[in-house]
Amino acid sequence: MSSPDPNRGGPSAPSTLTAGTIPLEVVHARSFTRNPDLAPIEDIREEVLKLEAEGEWIVQRVPDDHTEVTTKYGRTKKIPNRHTWHHKSCGQCGHIPGYSTAIFWLNRELGTEYNDPRDQTSCTAWNYYASATSNAPAQAAVAMRNFAAAYETGFYPVIHCGTSYGHYKEVREELVRHPDLRAQVRDILARMNKPLVMPEEMIHYSEWIHVMRHEIRKRTVLDLSNITCVVHPACHYYKLVAEDAIYDQEIYGGQRTAIMSQLLETLGAKVADYSTWFDCCGFGFRHVLVQRDFTRSFATLRKIERMKEEANPDVTITHDTGCVTTLDKSQFAAKAHGRNVGIPVMSEAQFAALAMGAHPYRVCQLHWHSTDYRPLLEKMGIDWEKAWAEFESDLDRLRSGKTEFLTWDDANAK
C-alpha cells in the first residue's frame, strides 16, 4: 500500500506477528507500478478478436453499459453493469445457496436485468481438478456450450464461481493457441446447432459487485464502521491466469487484487491485514472430498488461526465457492479440539446484501453456514432472533401448503 492506512493495520498498528510470518511493514512499504506496455505476456483478448476477424468464432461484446477497471498489468477491462447471464456455481447453489441468492438479490435491488438460465451446466472443473476424469476437449466444449447458451439470449455471461472463471480463462488460452482443439470443439457444438462464441471479457460476479460498490454504498442502511473484516482472495480468481484480476494502486500499493477490499472500504467497514493472505484456503478439490484432514488442517492452522491471532476480525469475507465452504465448515472440528477459531465466513455478496438491509435468512440463508454468525449480526445491528422468527413463520406457511415456494416478494416483506 502506498500510504499506511490505520484501517488495515500497518506500521502504526500493534505488531502481533509471530516469527516466520511476512513482516507487514515490508509489504506496506512496497508498491507495484503497472505499465501495460511492459506486460510480460500477450493480451489474449487481442488474439480472440483476431480469430473473430478470421472467421474462427463470434466474439460476444460486453454491453455498452459497462465500467472500465484496471487489471494486473495495467490493462483495461470492461465490466458489464447490467443485462447479464448468470453462470451459477454448483457448490454455491448446492451447499451455500444464500451466496447465489444474495447475488441475484443485489441485481434486483440495483435494477439490472439478468437471466438465471436452466440451460447452463456446471463448468465441471471441480471434477477436472479433483479426479482428472476429463480432458482438454471436454472441458473446452462444456465452456463453449455454456457461452453459446448465453449468446443465444443476448445477455452477457457473468460467472459466479472463481474456479469456473479461472478455468474458462485457461480454456480461452488453449482454444486460442491450438487450432486443432478449436476445430474439435466447433464440430461438437455443431452437433448441437450451436455457434462457437467467445466472450470479449471473462467476468467474475465479484467484479460486477466491485464496480457497483458506490451504488451499493448509496443503499447501505447499516453503520459498519465498527466491523472488522479480513479478506481471503480466491486462488482461481487471481492466480490461475492472473492478468484478468482487478488491481488498484490504492489497495495495498497494487500488490494484491483490489477485489473485495475496495468494496468493504467503500461500505465503511475496516479491512484488517494478516500474514497468510496469499495462502489458499485448503479446499484442494480432491482433498475436501476424500482427504479432508489436509483441508481442515490448512484452513484452520494456516488461515483462520492466523486471522484470529493477527487481526481478530468479526468476519472473514471471500468470493468463491470452495473458500466459503472450507473456511466455514473446517472450524467445527478445530473448535472441538480447543483451537483458536470462531470467525464467521461469508461471501462479499452476502455481506453487501446485509449492509443494504437484506434479510439474513430469507436472502442470505445464513442457516446453511456453520460457524456462529450471530455475534456478527448483533454487532451489525441486525436482530437475528426476530429475523429467524420471521423465517420460521415462512417455513410454517410452506409446511402447511399455503404456499409452495418462498418468492422474491416474500424475501423483501417487512
Binders of other proteins among residues 177 to 236 (CB under 8 A) are 177-178, 180-181, 184, 187-188, 191-192, 194, 235-236
Complex with other proteins: residue 66 or 151, whichever CB lies closer: 151
Distance CA 406, CA 73 (A): 45
Q: What is the 3-state secondary structure (H, E, C) of 101-150?
A: HHHHHHHHHCCCCEECCCCCCCCCHHHHHHCCCCCHHHHHHHHHHHHHHH
* Helix/strand/coil for 11: coil
Distance of CA 125 to CAs 57, 173, 189, 233, 350, Å? 23, 16, 19, 19, 24
In angstroms, the CA 279 to CA 307 distance is 12
Decide whether 351 or 391 has the Cβ nearer to other proteins: 391
Give the CA-trace dihedral at 233, 239, 241, 243, to 10 degrees: 70
Residue 204, all three cell numbers: 467474475
> Is residue 302 a contact residue for other proteins (CB under 8 A)?
yes
User: Residue 401, interface with other proteins (CB under 8 A)?
Assistant: no
Residues 326-345 that bind other proteins (CB under 8 A): 329-330, 332-333
* Residues 236-275 within binding reach of other proteins (CB under 8 A): 236, 239-240, 242
CA distance 269 to 401: 42
Among 287, 306, 308, 319, binds other proteins (CB under 8 A): 287
For the segment 110-129, give every residue that binds other proteins (CB under 8 A): 116-122, 124, 126-129
Q: Is 406 in the site for other proteins (CB under 8 A)?
A: yes
Q: State the nearest-atom distance from the C-beta of 64 to other proteins, in Å.
A: 27
By C-beta, is 101 or 228 nearer to other proteins? 101
Task: Give yes or no for residue 30 binding other proteins (CB under 8 A).
Answer: no
Q: Which of residues 78-97 bind other proteins (CB under 8 A)?
A: 88-95, 97
When binding is defined by CB under 8 A, the residue of 33, 367, 381, 385 that contacts other proteins is 367
Does residue 282 interact with other proteins by CB under 8 A?
yes
Displacement of CA 193 from its chain's centroid (Å):
32
